[in-house]
Structure 1
Amino acid sequence: MSKKTILYRERQRFRQFWLWAVVLGVAALFWAGFVAQVMLGHTFGSRPVSSVQLVVLVLLFGVGLPYFFFRMSLTTEVLPGELWVRFRPFHLRPVKIPLHLVREYERISYNPIQDYGGWGIRWGFKGKAYNMSGNRGVKLYFYNHKPLLIGSQRPDELYQAIAQAKELRQQP
């Protein structure tokens, strides 16, 4: 099996302060309930759950939710003739985009909330988007379907790598 040359690779994670404040705030709330009810013996809230249920909730929301967001990542790779995008944990394998299907591409700045409804894997009237943070990326226009936005912290490098990958693909 031949190893393909990777022309560009970028791995992004959620970096928004407000997102981590919400996720860790929710986790802290469940941990506070656990400490108060299970360790100190006080009831937590006006309608407390059983200690077993609270342990399950702490495992799900106090440990699982922060871990889920910590492990979430967007990996973009450009290879000769292909663009691979993998949004963990939702994609088990990378989404492979043959660059010969791309008729045009451009570096853009966009408004994640207005244009796509936020960050993540998003669908909207302007097409599909894979983005983690920021407001810059490369938008791909296809011959046969809606555009695709790939969010990037280094859109200039991604753009150049796509140009190089398309050029390498066209050579015999």
Structure 2
Amino acid sequence: MSKEIILFRERQRFRQFWLWVVVLGVAAIFWVGFVYQVLLGGQYGNRPVPDVQLSILFVLVGLGLPYFFYRMSLTTEVRPGLVQVRFWPFHVKPRQIPLHLVRDFERVTYSPIGDYGGWGIRWGSKGKAYNMSGNEGVKLYFYNRDPLLIGSQRAGELFQAISEARQMKV
């Protein structure tokens, strides 16, 4: 069994400093509450929740939220005749985009907040977007649906790989 050719592969994660400040700030509230109330025996707040509930919240929000954002990733692969995009954990299997359905494509610089309302899996007036950070990517135009933007830290390489993948026989 031969390996399938991969022309381009990129895995991105959330790298924005401000996002991590918010996520870790929210988690820190639960860390402080857990340590103060459960471990040190004090009462955290005016109407403290029972220790069991606080422990569950600590695990879910104090540990789970940062872990969730740490593990979240956008994987883009280009193969002959195909682009695959997987936004983990929201896509169990990669979304496959056959290149014969793509009318045209271009490398773009965009405004994540202005054009799509932020980062992640986004829908906006300019179509759908998969992006994690930055403001560059490749926009795919289809014959029968709205455009799709794939954000990339290596947009030039992604554009070149899609160009090559369209020329190759599947």
Q: TM-score, normalised by structure 1?
A: 0.97
The CA distance in 1 between the partners of 2:103 and 2:2, in whole Å, is 28
The structural deviation recorded for 1:169 is: 3.1
Q: 2:107 aligns to what SS in structure 1?
A: strand
Where 1:169 maps in the other structure, the secondary structure is: coil
Counterpart Cα distance in 2 of 1:59 and 1:18:
23
Q: Does residue 77 in structure 1 map to residue 77 in structure 2?
A: yes
Match of 1:61?
A: 61
- Render the CA deviation track for 1:28-84: whole Å, top value 9, x for unaligned: 110100011011111101111100000000000011000100110000000000000
In the alignment, the residues of structure 1 paired with residue 35 and residue 108 of structure 2 have an alpha-carbon distance, to the nearest angstrom, of 48
Q: Which whole-Å CA distance do the structure 2 matches of 1:126 and 1:169 have between them?
A: 31
Percent identical residues: 71
Match of 1:99 in 2: 99
Give 2:129's aligned residue.
129
1:117 matched to 2:111:
no
Which sections of structure 1, spanning at least 5 residues, go unmatched? none
Q: 1:144-159 maps to which residues of 2 (within 5 A)?
A: 144-159=144-159
1:11 aligned residue:
11
Matched, 1:49 2:49: yes
Instruction: Give the 3-state SS of the residue equivalent to 1:18 in structure 2.
Output: helix
Task: State the number of aligned residues.
Answer: 170
Alignment-mate amino acid for residue 148 of structure 2? L
- Calculate the TM-score normalised by the size of structure 2: 0.98
Query: Is the counterpart of residue 40 in structure 1 residue 40 in structure 2?
Result: yes
Which consecutive segments of 4 or more residues in structure 1 shift more than 3 A?
none
Equivalent-residue separation in structure 1 for 2:6 and 2:119 (angstroms): 26
Residue identity in the other structure for 2:34: F
